[in-house]
Chains A and B, each alone.
Chain A
Amino acid sequence: MSILVDQNTKVIVQGITGRDGSFHTEQMLGYGTRIVGGVTPGKGGQTVCGVPVFNTVAEAKKKTGADTAVIYVPAPFAKDAIFEDIQAGMSLIICITEGIPILDIVEVMRALEGRPCLPAGRPCLPAGRQTRFIGPNCPGVISPGKAKVGIMPGSIHQPGPVGVISRSGTLTYEVVYNLTRSNMGQSTCVGLGGDPITGMRFTDALEMFMRDEETQGIVMVGEIGGGDEQTAAEFIKKEGTKPVVGFIAGRTAPAGKRMGHAGAIISSGETTAEAKRQVLQEAGVTVVDFPDDIPAALKKKLR
């Protein structure tokens, strides 16, 4: 078991003919991911790395039976790409694209809740259907040994019992690298993304990992800005059934300055790294100082 993606996940790549899209399609195929199609409007009929390209998501889904979409299209076109997935009824959408306007994402979130934005009048999710949306501005999701849907380097991962959830890209690689070096493999690693609004948040991923049989322990990598770590702490306190180790980046970040990620900004006392460390500790999470302390801390809790 693992969460979100595995060897049976059928993936289409939106923006497959672009520089990033084609490079990562090759990488994902090399990892063993079932990439069944790609979408670039106007380029239907071509192939990229042997994968057929379609003009629309609806067509790609119909011809390939795909259930998951990964998005590499540039920010100005990302909203339309996401809406295409919602309309076609994809069950998982993973948006890698960085720099999407926040009001575009607000519109997407409304549609995912089944309430379209007006007066734009875009379609929304049909009643009774659930679509999971991960990102934007995220590295994607990998279930080691099964499937990689995103941009993370596959080689640092190893199958195993640790679930990893993070708001960051390379910091997650750092954490995973340390886990693998300590022979602690991962069930699934989920990159939530560095934007202030993301589809999946810590609590959603925690809930899935708590239910997943293969996952024995969870690592959460948070950072300054927003209140998701606090919400996660409340969830862990009430419903946590597995040990959690945490790391929060940005203890030395100055207030009021955006630290690379659109969402990483200290706007009030609750959004500092220290405040987040404290609430997580109060919820029973072991919060470490150094990323390379994570494996030992988790081992201790799993014993």
Chain B
Amino acid sequence: MAATLEEAVQIALGIGYPVVLKSQVLVGGRGKAGGIKKAEDRGSLEKAFRELKALRIKGYPVEKVLIVRAVNIQKEFYVGMTVDYVKNDVVLMASSAGGVDIEETARENPEAIKKYYLRGSHRPGGKEWHSFIQDVFPAPSYQKKAAAVFQNLINVFFAYDCSLAEINPLVVDEAGEMCAADAKINFDDNALFRHEDIRKMQDARYEDSDELKAREHGLSFVKLDGNVGCIVNGAGLAMATMDVIKLLGGRPANFLDVGGSSNPEKVLHALRIILNNKEVKVVLMNIFGGITRCDDIAKGILEAGKRMDISVPLVVRLIGTNEPQAKEILAQNKINTYSTMREAVEKAVALAKR
């Protein structure tokens, strides 16, 4: 991996020309965006390296370039592994039609992708396994190598709690050797607590700064392009609130789930993130108290009002646990509340149109 031209030259010297330069960005479609180049000698390496470093791929700068031996590709395969949510199982996938168009293949010709379910085992074997391997790798000389690749993939998948691990393409060169020409791994966010090493690799630049900030404060946030900001407790109710805003003629500015806890601080952080978006003309709070206590939310609103400038009108709907106390607190501070979701959304949509 090279960050500077000197490093690139050194690495290429060690490998021997021809080499391939691959931009290191955490987005797909890199090859099609011109992020991969081949170099036959030092001159073309320098030129390719400078061009890649100047490139932005889907908006992201290329800071590092991976330099590898150029493989004379005879055949490209696809191999991958993921969790099948319908079958509650881990599945291996493979296709003899590997390469950049695998997504298209999956859509238009799904039979070209063969599947093998692990059924709890981490060491595949038996009749079904052999026919899976033979289907994708008809040449006997490839089968043993492919099986070894799969075993390594399985080991990595379970060791690191992956949600997707794929090698595409898995290539065979003119000497009949198999090698991973590109790979992609997604990790399960819920399992990061047991993979500190993976957590450290997270690159904040690849994430929306508001979404990141929201996560730090235990909020779940997704920005949309409307002007009615919303703060809701619970993901399902938050989605339904967005939908109702749209159905009543408004445009939701975001999805925001404050979660189930009663921490008044969360309301403050939620308001800060939403008001960061200058499009927002009104903030709708839709809280159904269960574990969340309405009076804590009300206190959060007052606290936020003291600590920041809330420049847009607030429309508050509170119901459930400690609702009377919450309504009293807000009434004393001249903040109107609504009991039904429809009334509150109608009010917010009307205010956004003013």
A is bound by B:
yes
Query: Which positions in A face B, CB cutoff 8 Å?
Result: 20, 75-76, 99-107, 109-110, 115-119, 139, 151-153, 156, 166-174, 177, 194, 196-197, 221, 223-224, 226-227, 231, 247, 249-254, 257-264, 273, 289-292
Cβ–Cβ < 8 Å partners of A261 in chain B: 235-236
Contact B252 A252 (CB under 8 A): yes
| Residue B86 interfacial (CB < 8 Å) | yes
Instruction: Determine chain B's interface SS by DSSP, over half rule.
Output: mixed
Cβ–Cβ < 8 Å partners of B247 in chain A: 289-290
| Residue B120 interfacial (CB < 8 Å) | yes
Contact A110 B234 (CB under 8 A): no
Contact A290 B342 (CB under 8 A): yes
Closest B residue to A222 by CB, please name it: B236
Would you list 30 pairs from A and B whose C-beta atoms are within 8 A, ordered by A residue?
A75-B190, A103-B161, A106-B83, A106-B88, A107-B120, A109-B88, A116-B120, A117-B120, A118-B121, A168-B234, A170-B288, A171-B239, A172-B236, A173-B288, A174-B288, A223-B235, A224-B239, A249-B239, A249-B240, A252-B245, A253-B239, A254-B222, A260-B234, A260-B235, A264-B235, A264-B239, A289-B243, A291-B240, A291-B244, A292-B341
Cβ–Cβ < 8 Å partners of B161 in chain A: 101-103
Query: Which positions in B face A, CB cutoff 8 Å?
Result: 83, 85-86, 88-90, 119-123, 158, 161, 163, 188-191, 193-194, 220, 222, 224, 232-240, 242-247, 252, 255, 257, 260, 288-291, 319-321, 340-342
**Least CB distance, B113 to chain A, in whole angstroms:** 14
**Least CB distance, A227 to chain B, in whole angstroms:** 6
**Least CB distance, B333 to chain A, in whole angstroms:** 25
Closest A residue to B252 by CB, please name it: A252
Contact B242 A253 (CB under 8 A): yes
**Least CB distance, A86 to chain B, in whole angstroms:** 14
Closest A residue to B193 by CB, please name it: A76
A20, A75, A254, A290, most chain B CB atoms within 10 A: A290
Cβ–Cβ < 8 Å partners of B158 in chain A: 103
Closest B residue to A194 by CB, please name it: B235
CA distance A70 to B173 in the complex (A): 56
**Least CB distance, A14 to chain B, in whole angstroms:** 18
Q: A106-B90, A118-B120, A169-B290 are in contact. Are A99 and B190 (CB under 8 A)?
A: yes
Partner pick for A171 among B122, B237, B246, CB 8 A cutoff: B237
Contact B85 A263 (CB under 8 A): yes
Contact A197 B88 (CB under 8 A): yes
Cβ–Cβ < 8 Å partners of B319 in chain A: 177
Contact A102 B86 (CB under 8 A): no
B120, B255, B341, most chain A CB atoms within 10 A: B120
Contact B239 A250 (CB under 8 A): yes
Cβ–Cβ < 8 Å partners of B222 in chain A: 253-254, 257-259
